[in-house]
Amino acid sequence: MNKLSVLACAVMLAPVSAQAFSLDDRYQDKDGDLIADIPEDSAQLTDPSTLIFAYTPVEDPAVYREVWSEFLAHLSDATGKKVQFFPVQSNAAQIEAMRAGRLHIAGFNTGSNPLAVACAGLRPFAMMAAADGSFGYEMEIITHPDSGIEEVEDIRGGELAFTSQTSNSGFKAPSAILKADYGMIPGEDFEPVFSGKHDNSILGVANQDYPAAAIANSVLARMLDRDVVSQDQIETIYTSQTFPTTAYGLAHNLKPELQEDIQEAFFSFDWEGTALEEEFSKSGEAQFIPITFKEHWEVIRKIDAANGVAYNCQ
């Protein structure tokens, strides 16, 4: 399927404008950029002595503590504050931590970004990109060589592993595409199971615990590069259009000057020779680039609309 047809089917399934997206009542959006405004009342602003940073719960958090260590040292120098890495185990826990004021800076995965914006006051501003400025990843439906599955239709009547209901490539995008293009609905035409994370789904297919799974190919690329799985264990039967990847953002109520210092730290970080470069070069990324939630997440909001997603902030 090409990029236009995915977008068209998302709009056709649910003709809801992306502008229908709204924030929880605790936040304001006077400028219409779809993210929470920085509070005008200084009493509502926070200036923590220690900044808490979390990376999206895609793989083993212990691995990523070291990957991010040099960047967090740079962030500490840029802000004059201590910075602590917070290993999160789920998208829900990450969103709740920011909503409760326990998380200040974070990378939220593609699918959970709208929920974090709507319910936790996330202000996304950056994304990883290649040296030439290109960015993104694809959703793939993968299987193993002994599954008997050669094309998407072969999943009908069987089992398909998703990651979590907040994941774009791990649930929302494949659900919309399977319904629109193949007339296949989870729970009716195949049995959905949830692994929790992309690496769990990939390992599950490689070890033949799952016959097939919907995953982000950026995660698969890194796992192949680290020899966590081998290419002969995995077969791809579907590849989607390109989606934006993890967005990095801030809690809306950090002091404005602190928000500026944090953003500058992202864009001034020198990747060369760092653990961040070593890890993310495996998926072709080499720098942080500026983004906006309104523009870069438009297709994701449309996929959510196609799936009838409601952002329940209770």
CATH (domain of 292): 3.40.190.10
pTM over 0.85: no
* 123 and 142 co-located in one domain: no
Whether the pLDDT of residue 6 is over 50: the answer is no
pLDDT at 58 over 80: no
Angle at 303 between CA 299 and CA 304, to 5 degrees: 115
**Domain identity same for 162 and 239:** yes
* 17 within a domain of the structure (yes/no): no
Mean pLDDT, rounded, of the chain: 90
Asked whether residue 167 falls in the same domain as residue 230, the answer is yes
- Between 128-132, 276-280, 289-293, 308-312, the lowest mean confidence (pLDDT) is in 308-312
Round the CA-based radius of gyration of the chain to a whole number and report it: 19
More confident residue, 177 or 7: 177
Residue 56 falls inside a structural domain: yes
Residues 73 and 145 in one domain: no
Last residue of a domain, one of 243, 266, 294: 243
Residue located via tokens 């996330």: 122
Q: What pLDDT, on the 0 to 100 scale, is given for residue 13?
A: 32
Give residue 307's pLDDT: 82
Q: Is residue 28 part of a domain?
A: no
Answer yes or no: is pLDDT of 18 > 80: no
Give yes or no: residues 53 and 72 share one domain: yes
Is 237 inside a domain boundary? yes
Q: Is the pLDDT of residue 8 over 80?
A: no
Q: Is the pLDDT of residue 59 over 70?
A: no
Q: Are residues 126 and 148 in the same domain?
A: no
Please report, rounded to a whole number, the percentage of residues in the chain having pLDDT higher than 70: 93
Signed CA dihedral, 45, 51, 55, 56: sign only: negative
pLDDT surpassing 70 at residue 20: no
The answer to whether residues 119 and 211 belong to one domain is no
Please give the tally of structural domains in the chain.
2
Residues 130 and 170 in one domain: no
pLDDT of 126 strictly over 80: yes
Residues 292-297: what's their mean pLDDT?
94
Please indicate, yes or no, whether residues 213 and 290 belong to a single structural domain of this protein: no
Q: Which of 65-79, 148-162, 173-187, 248-262 has the lowest mean pLDDT?
A: 173-187
39 is a domain residue:
no
Question: Could you tell me if 266 and 287 are in contact, meaning their C-beta atoms sit under 8 angstroms apart?
Answer: no
Q: What is the DSSP string of 26-42?
A: T---TTSSSSPPPPSSG
| Among 226, 243, 260, residue at a domain's last position | 243
pLDDT at residue 19 greater than cutoff 70: no
Residue at 36 is within a domain: no
269 lies in which domain range? 47-134+244-307
Residue 295 within any structural domain of the chain = yes
Same domain flag for 170 and 235? yes
Q: Which residue from 114, 138, 145, 283 is spatially nearest to 216, judged by alpha carbons?
A: 138
Is 76 within the bounds of a domain? yes
Same domain membership, residue 298 and residue 153: no
* Cβ–Cβ under 8 Å, residues 241 and 6: yes
What is the rounded average pLDDT of the residues 246-267? 98
Task: Specify whether 141 is located in the same domain as 233.
Answer: yes
**pLDDT at residue 57 in the model:** 82
- From 213, 243, 273, give the residue that closes a domain: 243
- Write the single-letter amino acid at 177: I
Residues in the chain: 314
